[in-house]
Structure 1
Amino acid sequence: MILGLYEAHLPVSNKDRSIEFYSKLGLELAWQDEDTAFFWIEKEKSQLGLWEGEQYKIPYHPSVRHIAFRVGYEELKDSVNWLNSIHIEPVPFGKRSSVEPFVRPHQGNASVYFNDPDGNSLELMCYVQVPERLRTITEKVSLKDWEKMIEDENSIQNN
């Protein structure tokens, strides 16, 4: 029945500034009116709605002001450079001090975080293949350390 996500929404304080920001991310503006703008995340499949108003003042919580964009693994590896190239600063996630991409082995995904101009939390995220032996790791692992772990795991499997 469910085929995917059709739309998600974020509150913004200034629609025009937000249009400029999300356009820098490569999203295509689908339509806008006086206080709303919709961007295609995947053309004719999913959209992000931006709603100008006072709701941007709601304190951040991932259930209220967070969006994760799906990217490929290779793109995630270069995501910090890409964000910096379009003048967007990555931010550390949670208690991490590094802005570098990291893997959540027990969830089978990898991420890097950044914020929009209103402090909405944005994430670039991809799926990663996790060998059975590593699926119990619940701490976040830097992408560089993860690749070393996978290299070691492959060496074990091949011997």
Structure 2
Amino acid sequence: MIKGIFETHINVSNYKISAEFYEKLLNIIPLYEDSNRKSKFYWIGNPGEAMFGIRENYPSPEIQRQHFAFKVDVTNIIKARDYLNKLGIESENFFGGNSEELMVFPFMPAVSIYFTDPDGHSVEFISMLEDKPRPELEIMSWKEWEFIHGRELQ
């Protein structure tokens, strides 16, 4: 019945500033802007697959930090990190450390990068790995994950 999450919206302090930030990110396609409601909507990935919305001071002027993740192909996770750096957006791993050492969540398994938007929302680029989930393992570096699977991180 449920096939996935289609849309998410976040409250921002200035939708123009947030729009500029998110429009720098890869594969975010502007869909619709409503200047009366101070909101803007985007397709994520291909049109019609998923939608992301930003709205200024709605439902209140208080910004509550939220977290959400954009799906990225594993072959592009390093490129995504480098792209963020090129834009001057600081990225980090799950533990808040340098994103040069990305972490794997073995229970999924997935590797990811974190960064913050202009309002302090926690944004993540996440890539699912093709290996079987290993929920008995703790979060570890991608290098360690590859090692226990008999591979070397490229």
TM-score (norm 2): 0.83
Q: Deviations over 1:95-139 (max 9, x none)?
A: 44233321011221111101111111100011113347x4410x2
Aligned to 1:144: 143
Distance 2:105 2:118 in 1: 27
Matched, 1:46 2:47: no
Distance 1:107 1:17 in 2: 34
Distance 1:56 1:76 in 2: 34
Identity of aligned residues (%): 32
Structure 2 residue matching 1:123: 3-state secondary structure: strand
Aligned to 1:25: 25
Tell me how far 1:82 sits from its aligned partner: 1.7
- The count of corresponding residues between Structure 1 and Structure 2 is 146
Tell me how far 1:24 sits from its aligned partner: 0.3
Aligned to 1:119: 120
| Greater helix content | 1
In structure 2, runs of 5+ residues without a counterpart are none
Tell me how far 1:12 sits from its aligned partner: 0.8
Structure 2 residue matching 1:119: 3-state secondary structure: coil
Q: 1:131 to 1:3 in 2, by over 3 A?
A: closer
Confirm or deny: 8 A CA contact 1:91 1:114 kept in the other structure: yes
In structure 1, runs of 5+ residues without a counterpart are 153-159
Aligned to 1:91: 92
Aligned to 2:2: 2
Tell me how far 1:73 sits from its aligned partner: 0.8
TM-score (norm 1): 0.80
Structure 2 residue matching 1:57: 3-state secondary structure: coil
Confirm or deny: 8 A CA contact 2:12 2:63 kept in the other structure: no
Distance 1:91 1:110 in 2: 12
Distance 1:127 1:77 in 2: 14
Tell me how far 1:146 sits from its aligned partner: 1.9
Aligned to 2:16: 16
Considering only CA atoms, is the larger Rg found in Structure 1 or Structure 2?
1
What is the alpha-carbon root mean square deviation over aligned residues? 2.2
Distance 1:127 1:74 in 2: 10
Tell me how far 1:5 sits from its aligned partner: 2.0
Residue of structure 1 aligned with 2:62, choices 39, 57, 60: 57
Structure 2 residue matching 1:3: 3-state secondary structure: coil
Confirm or deny: 8 A CA contact 1:66 1:122 kept in the other structure: yes
| Superposed counterparts of 1:100-111, under 5 Å | 100-111=101-112
